[in-house]
Amino acid sequence: MTGSKASDWHASGEGRQRGPLIVTEDEGLLDDLLRLCAAAGAMPEVAHGLPARKESWDAAPLVLVGDDCASRMSRTARREGVVVVGKDPDDPGIWRRALGLGARNVALLPDGEGWLVDRIADAVEGAGEPALTVGVIGGSGGAGASTLACALALGAARAGQRTMLIDGDPLGGGIDVMLGGESAEGLRWPAFADSRGRLAGRALEEALPELHALRVLSWDRGDCTAVPPDAMRAVLGAARRRGGVVVVDLPRRVDEPAVEVLEQLDLGLLVVPSELRAVAAAHRIASVVRMLLGDLRVVARGPFATGLDGQEIARLLGLPLAGELPPEPGLPEVLAAGRPPGGGERGPLARFSAGFWAGALAEGGGVPA
């Protein structure tokens, strides 16, 4: 599976679920709607004129009613999730017919195609609250951002959250190695380099390696060292739509793909060792990141120098303090043995992660798995 392409499952990954119901006698409109359903990864049921079965009308996650059928369906039992679809933008009557059917939305093609594809995909995926998305970035080289990102993802999974860990640093060597899963089956970033538009969230999740009760999107050991911004946007958008928690390990350079990530984050953690030089380096990174991310907090990493504790580091950077992270005893030995950082329930990393999620999920309304 590691050699597959994301395009192999981009449109088909969600076809196993119940798709929308299409009601129309207009063959041209039907062709358009079938094409849009395929783009959204949905397998629709088609009723020519009226639903053949009442249960089809009631059970479909979304009903797309052609404007040609809207008038005669006004007596149909009203329900949520009905969209009237037409092609004539100069016909004000379509809104009246939609109101008579109890539909809250009208889609006019072709201008409304993008909106309608998203609406179909949301309905099929059962879209709920987006994932609480947290990015971790090192304030200086060797700050331990990848270590904290792994520990946070493991902590979220222990807390019962559907969790995805995304490796946003192509020069980091692959975060799957840190989790001891470099040989695990599943897709890595190169398979998504050509992704555009909307990816099916469930298919993304199922295509990735599962390590320690979470899904991981890592770089491999090949020659690919970047993905286009469009691919980063598509993948992260799909991950967020699955709900739960997404943790992103960010590179220290803010290039175009990193900008795409920063613009979708709910919260950023800047890991800063207790060293004056590290604080100076972190100040430069923070000045750039804060232009793209409204909520950036400091994680001060020990051991702490005299007069340079977490509060002082946060003050010098002008950022709120997310917490202090003391040194993790035996961490090099843990990593050398192929065990993940913060994988147990004890130790500074595990304690920091548990405390962080207890607060962040209460603030952000995380979605349980």
pLDDT at 235: 93
Alpha helical stretches, state H, 65-215: 67-70, 93-101, 113-125, 145-158, 175-178, 201-207
pLDDT, tens digit, for every residue of 91-143? 989 999 999 888 989 999 999 998 898 888 888 776 568 899 999 999 999 99
Contact 58, 78 (CB under 8 A): no
pLDDT at 285: 96
Percent of the chain with pLDDT over 70: 92
Q: Pairing between strand 210-211 and 214-217? A: antiparallel
pLDDT, tens digit, for every residue of 149-170? 999 999 999 999 999 999 999 9
Q: Within 13 Å, how many C-alpha atoms sit on residue 320's CB side?
A: 8
Residue 229 pLDDT > 80, yes or no? yes
Residue 218 vs residue 7, higher pLDDT: 218
Q: CB-based contacts of 249: which residues, under 8 Å, 6+ apart?
A: 136, 145, 146, 149, 150, 165, 166, 167, 168, 169, 172, 175
Residue 6 pLDDT > 60, yes or no? no
Cα dihedral 350/366/192/257 (nearest 10)? -80
Q: Could you give the strand order of the β-sheet that contains 163-167, starting from the edge strand earlier in sequence? A: 210-211, 214-217, 163-167, 245-249, 132-138, 267-273, 296-301, 321-325
pLDDT at 155: 96
Query: d(Cα 20, Cα 368) in Å, to the nearest integer?
Result: 26
What does DSSP assign to residue 86? Answer: E
Residue 367 pLDDT > 70, yes or no? no
Give CB contacts under 8 A, 24+ apart, made by 228-231: 228/193, 228/256, 228/257, 229/256, 229/257, 229/259, 229/260, 230/195, 230/196, 231/192, 231/193, 231/194, 231/195, 231/196, 231/257
Token pair, residue 365, equals 């309304």
pLDDT at 75: 74
Contact 42, 15 (CB under 8 A): yes
Query: d(Cα 21, Cα 26) in Å, to the nearest integer?
Result: 15
Q: Where are the beta strands (DSSP E) in the chain?
A: 21-23, 45-47, 63-66, 82-86, 105-108, 132-138, 163-167, 210-211, 214-217, 245-249, 267-273, 296-301, 321-325
Of 50, 59, 58, 108, whose CA–CA distance to 83 is shortest? 108
Residue 72 CB neighbour total at 10 angstroms: 12
Residue 203 pLDDT > 90, yes or no? no
pLDDT at 127: 58
Q: Pairing between strand 63-66 and 267-273? A: unpaired
State the maximum Cα–Cα separation within the chain, in Å, rounded to a whole number: 79
- Name the pLDDT band for 52 (thresholds 50, 70, 90): low
Residue 364 pLDDT > 70, yes or no? no
Residue 49 pLDDT > 80, yes or no? no
Burial 34-52 (b: 16+ CB within 10 A, else e): eebbbbbbbbbbbbeeebe
- Name the pLDDT band for 35 (thresholds 50, 70, 90): very high
pLDDT at 53: 73
Please compute the mean of the pLDDT values over residues 230-249 and round it to a whole number: 92
pLDDT, tens digit, for every residue of 285-316? 999 999 999 999 999 999 998 899 999 999 99
pLDDT, tens digit, for every residue of 60-99? 999 999 999 998 887 777 888 999 999 998 898 999 999 9
Token pair, residue 52, equals 């053949």
Token pair, residue 198, equals 């909307």
Q: What mean pLDDT is reported for the chain?
A: 88
Helix (H) or strand (E) holding 251: none
Asked if residue 110 has a cis previous peptide bond (ω within 30° of 0), the answer is yes
Q: Within 13 Å, how many C-alpha atoms sit on residue 159's CB side?
A: 26
